[in-house]
């Protein structure tokens, strides 16, 4: 019998802690999810994309951030053409326009051929009643 240490080490190595995939950093507000979900899949995917990029920017503090927007505020994210969230560039722009008209996000155009910087807006006072109906005691 040969005593081969390489075979022993292969079976005893711990599994990788890194999980491949695209994850959104939480916690996510259920009220925010409801606000965006009620306006279609494209607007909801835009919400998830912005939250995903916010998490990346938060994690990237102190690292090479050349791909991140020039603003210091972590709420502004560049909405790029990511195939996980948007199938076509036109779908992304339609979602952005719809969300802006509804007052869900705010966007800044930074350059001629650059994707816009966007951030999620806080809900207005009357948004809750308009979207979810009146309270239980109201008639």
Note whether residue 9 is domain-resident: no
Tell me the longest C-alpha to C-alpha distance in the chain: 84
**Per-residue exposure over 57-93, b if at least 16 CB sit within 10 Å of its own CB, e if not:** beeeeeeeeeebbeeeebebbbbeeeeebbeeeebbb
How many C-beta atoms lie closer than 10 Å to residue 106's C-beta? 15
Residues 98, 111 contacting (CB under 8 angstroms): no
Q: Where does the pLDDT of residue 131 fall: very low under 50, low under 70, confident under 90, or very high at 90 and above?
A: very low
pLDDT at 85 over 70: yes
Note whether residue 128 is domain-resident: no
How many angstroms separate the CA atoms of 40 and 103, rounded?
15
Containing domain of residue 108, as a range? 26-122
Residues 92, 86 contacting (CB under 8 angstroms): yes
Note whether residue 39 is domain-resident: yes
Note whether residue 138 is domain-resident: no
Average predicted confidence (pLDDT) for the chain? 76
pLDDT of the residue at 60: 66
Q: Where does the pLDDT of residue 75 fall: very low under 50, low under 70, confident under 90, or very high at 90 and above?
A: confident
Note whether residue 16 is domain-resident: no
pLDDT of the residue at 55: 80
pLDDT of the residue at 13: 61
pLDDT at 72 over 50: yes
**In this structure, what CATH number is given to the domain that contains residue 111?**
1.10.10
pLDDT of the residue at 129: 46
How many angstroms separate the CA atoms of 136 and 7, rounded?
66
pLDDT tens track for 24-66: 777 888 999 999 999 999 999 999 999 988 887 776 655 555 5
pLDDT of the residue at 11: 59
Note whether residue 18 is domain-resident: no
pLDDT at 124 over 90: no
> Taking the alpha carbons of 62, 78, 109, 43 in that order, is the dihedral positive or negative?
negative
Note whether residue 12 is domain-resident: no
Note whether residue 7 is domain-resident: no
Overall number of domains in the chain: 1
Q: Please provide residue 90's backbone torsions phi and psi, each rounded to the nearest 5 degrees.
A: -65, -35
């Amino acid at each position: 019998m040969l005593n081969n240490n390489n075979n022993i080490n292969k079976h005893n190595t711990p599994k990788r802690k890194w999980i491949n995939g695209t994850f959104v950093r939480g916690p996510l507000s259920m009220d925010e999810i409801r606000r965006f979900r009620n306006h279609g899949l494209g607007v909801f995917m835009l919400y998830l994309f912005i939250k995903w990029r916010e998490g990346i920017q938060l994690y990237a503090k102190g690292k090479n951030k050349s791909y991140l927007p020039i603003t210091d505020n972590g709420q502004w994210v560049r909405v790029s053409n990511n195939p996980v969230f948007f199938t076509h560039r036109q779908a992304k722009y339609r979602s952005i326009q719809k969300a802006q008209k509804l007052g869900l996000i705010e966007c800044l155009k930074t350059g001629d051929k650059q994707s816009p910087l966007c951030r999620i807006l806080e809900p207005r006072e009357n948004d809750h009643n308009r979207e979810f109906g009146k309270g239980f005691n109201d008639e």
